[in-house]
Amino acid sequence: MVELSNEDVRKVASLARLKLSDAEIEHFAQQLGGVLQYVHVLDELDVSDIEPMAHAVDISNVLRDDETTPSLPREDALANAPKTDGRYFLVPQILENA
Amino acid sequence: MQLSGATASQLLEAMDSGEMTAADIVRAHLDAIASLDESVGTFLSVDAEAALTQAAEVDRKRAAGEPLGPLAGLPVAVKDNICTRGRATTCASRMLENFVPPYDAHIVERLNSADAVIIGKTNLDEFAMGSSTENSALKVTRNPWNVDCTPGGSSGGSAAAVAAALAPLAIGSDTGGSIRQPASFCGVVGMKPTYGRVSRYGLVAFASSLDQIGPFANDVAGAALLLERLAGHDARDSTSVDCPVPAYSQSVDQPLEGLRVGVVQEYLGEGTDDDVRSAIETAIAVYRSQGAEIVDISLPHTKYAVATYYLIACSEASSNLARYDGIHYGHRAEQFESLVDLYAASREEGFGDEVKRRIMLGVYALSEGYSDQYYVKALKVRRLIRNDFDAAFQNVDVIVGPTFPTPAFRIGELVDDPLQMYLSDICTIGANLAGIPGISIPCGISASGLPIGLQLLAGPFEEEKLLRAARMFERETDWHTRRPSLSQ
């Protein structure tokens, strides 16, 4: 049985940048534990000699010419930003006394 | 002529003959939306003015003798995870509730240049994560055949819009069955093309190695016509494949000689509803009666597909959805203590439960010490699943079976049991893992009055064969002509 402790879930939530409530932590510990338990069905298979398959189509390193093409105007790129000064995306201050 | 509910071919013919104008057709569908959509809830947004302007432009071009695109005047509903410039694209998420893309998806450009009329944007499970459209943060969509049932998902709004005759054509995306399963639940045609057949540029990413855009229609010919327009190379999607697009709409009516039809025992296992099983057996007999050879085949790794799929899809989702940070676009929390806290609070407020669950599973499967055990192992099993299909298609042209083990389930029935919801995807996810095309077409009605879907699968880039094989069944039966009786 895969047991996920609340502490495990809290750690995953922190890696995932999700600020979960205590109730959510409890809830997800149970549900994710169930799903992880289930996926261990894959342990029945010996896959040691199998090459991982990341993509369905064998394409690699699609290259294009290194040429300048039109890109989004700044105004459009900033249009959906929750906070902007019209030139930049604004973030909270991250350095003290800056 | 009843315009709402007509097929794409009938509508094109009515316009060609001068019997109807594009404005008549678009207005009839807007009227149907106005009177019926309150009870079904398929659309998240409808821009009637833009649709009528576009229709008027088509009529002007026709009157002036200017060349018209292949979808001229046809209303198309587009799933709301596909970017439309200047027009909200919400993914049915609080995170993107106010997002207005600054660009069009490739397929939106293709629709526009074909003179199609985008009539509205349809509801979905948040970020396309789900099988019932119940995970939409913005709206409940109901099954037009029984409003207590779900329309399936994640493209539930697009499927229900076609079933309710609110649009003859619609666009969805399919990561694990999200076009085929709602098509099955709603009694319409829905197709997932080969991975790489249609550009994903402008499709909001869920699981990039599995996502594919495809058509819904009220008959196979409509799906062929729409796919022909969606397909084709686009340099902005590096996984888009550069190979010629056959004229699907021209060949779809030609039956296939000497068709070899594979029946997969693993797709008719325990848990398959009796009505579904008997509809599939009847469908197989329809192929046999047309001279097809029926071959029993096995896809031995089928029982591992669900676990493989959820590990890969969630891992990719956790990475793709890392972009929502409350800074560049999307929801930003008002209250936070630091930059990291701004990310975490914005994501906590912006995402619903299922999205959080999948991000968490993906982060766990990719995290240090666990990725070999979960993510990498799933990629290896993925190859075994693909090998199963490759071997099967050495022997048969198409594989037929149920799209889903049951007809539509009731709203709320599975909402607290995510694992049970995942397990039912058994018949559809193989095609996404292997990258092959699949189609769901109506093949029966259950005792409870709900549609049943027949799924056909074919080898990579064999959409033409798939559509012709689907049409062979459709021309012998009348299931595709059945419509739910909806009252206002």
pLDDT digits (tens, 9 = 90+) for B108-122: 999 999 999 999 999
Q: Would you give the DSSP letter of residue B213?
A: E
Task: Please list every residue in chain A whose beta carbon sits closer than 8 Å to the beta carbon of residue B379.
Answer: 52-54
Chain A with chain B: Cβ pairs closer than 8 A: 162
Answer whether A42 sits within 8 Å of B308, measured CB to CB: yes
When CB atoms are compared, the residue of B303, B378, B434 closest to A56 is B434
Mutate to test the interface with A, among B301, B357, B360 (most CBs of A within 10 A): B360
H-helix or E-strand spanning residue B472: helix B463-476
Task: Please list every residue in chain B whose beta carbon sits closer than 8 Å to the beta carbon of residue A50.
Answer: 380-381, 383-384
In contact, B164 and B486? CB cutoff 8 Å: yes
Q: How far is the first Cα of chain A from the last one, in angstroms, to the nearest whole number?
A: 51
When CB atoms are compared, the residue of A31, A35, A89 closest to B327 is A89
Those of residues 62-91 in A touching chain B at CB distance below 8 A are 62, 64, 72, 76-77, 79-83, 89-91
Average pLDDT score over chain B:
96
Averaged pLDDT, B350-356 = 97
A48 burial type by CB count under 10 A (0-12 exposed, 13-18 middle, 19+ buried): exposed
Q: Closest by alpha carbon to B150, among B450, B432, B420, B446?
A: B450
When CB atoms are compared, the residue of A39, A53, A59 closest to B307 is A39
Task: Please list every residue in chain A whose beta carbon sits closer than 8 Å to the beta carbon of residue B381.
Answer: 42, 45, 47, 50
CATH homologous superfamily of B8-258 = Amidase signature (AS) domain (3.90.1300.10)
Rounded distance between C-alpha atoms, residue B282 and residue B288, angstroms: 10
pLDDT digits (tens, 9 = 90+) for B188-210: 999 999 999 999 999 999 999 99
How many other C-beta atoms can be found within 10 angstroms of the C-beta atom of residue A3? 9
Answer whether B418 sits within 8 Å of A35, measured CB to CB: yes
Q: Closest by alpha carbon to B427, among B405, B451, B445?
A: B405
When CB atoms are compared, the residue of B348, B381, B386 closest to A47 is B381
Interstrand relation of B260-264 and B398-402 (parallel, antiparallel or unpaired) = parallel
Averaged pLDDT, B296-305 = 96
Mutate to test the interface with A, among B104, B324, B380 (most CBs of A within 10 A): B380
Query: φ and ψ at B288, to 5 degrees?
Result: -60, -40
Reported residue count of chain B is 488
Rounded distance between C-alpha atoms, residue B76 and residue B89, angstroms: 16
Task: Please list every residue in chain B whose beta carbon sits closer than 8 Å to the beta carbon of residue A53.
Answer: 379-380, 382-383, 386
When CB atoms are compared, the residue of B318, B336, B360 closest to A28 is B360
Q: Is the pLDDT of residue B488 over 60?
A: no
Residue showing tokens 């995807």:
B425
Provide the phi-psi class of B486: left if phi over 0, else alpha when psi is between -120 and 50, else beta.
beta
Task: Please list every residue in chain B whose beta carbon sits closer than 8 Å to the beta carbon of residue A31.
Answer: 357, 418-419
Say which residues have a Cβ less than 8 Å from residue B66's Cβ, sequence separation at least 6: none
Q: Closest by alpha carbon to B204, among B178, B241, B226?
A: B178
Say what the ipTM of the complex is.
0.95
How many other C-beta atoms can be found within 10 angstroms of the C-beta atom of residue B294? 15
All domains of chain A, ordered by start, with CATH?
Answer: 6-44 (1.10.20)
Answer whether A19 sits within 8 Å of B344, measured CB to CB: yes
H-helix or E-strand spanning residue B402: strand B398-402
Confidence of residue A59 (pLDDT cuts 50, 70, 90): confident
Identify residue B382 by its one-letter amino acid code: R
pLDDT (0 to 100) of residue B487: 58
- The tokens for A1 are 């049985």
Residues of B with catalytic function: 79, 154, 178
Q: Is A1 in CB contact (< 8 Å) with chain B?
A: no
Q: Is the pLDDT of residue B91 over 80?
A: yes
Q: B370 forms bridges with which residues in the sheet?
A: none
Say which residues have a Cβ less than 8 Å from residue B479's Cβ, sequence separation at least 6: B187, B441, B442, B443, B444, B445, B451
Reported residue count of chain A is 98
Interstrand relation of B189-192 and B451-458 (parallel, antiparallel or unpaired) = unpaired
Q: Is the pLDDT of residue A2 over 70?
A: no
CA B93, chain centre distance (Å): 18
Residue showing tokens 């079933």:
B163
In contact, A60 and A35? CB cutoff 8 Å: no
Averaged pLDDT, A68-97 = 92
Answer whether A53 sits within 8 Å of B376, measured CB to CB: no
Q: Where are the domains of chain B?
A: 8-258, 303-379
Query: φ and ψ at B179, to 5 degrees?
Result: -100, -50
Query: φ and ψ at B115, to 5 degrees?
Result: 65, 25
Q: Is A47 in CB contact (< 8 Å) with chain B?
A: yes
Rounded distance between C-alpha atoms, residue B37 and residue B142, angstroms: 10
pLDDT digits (tens, 9 = 90+) for A11-46: 999 999 999 999 999 999 999 999 999 999 999 999
Task: Please list every residue in chain A whose beta carbon sits closer than 8 Å to the beta carbon of residue B340.
Answer: 17
Answer whether A47 sits within 8 Å of B357, measured CB to CB: no
Confidence of residue A62 (pLDDT cuts 50, 70, 90): confident
Answer whether A57 sits within 8 Å of B196, measured CB to CB: yes
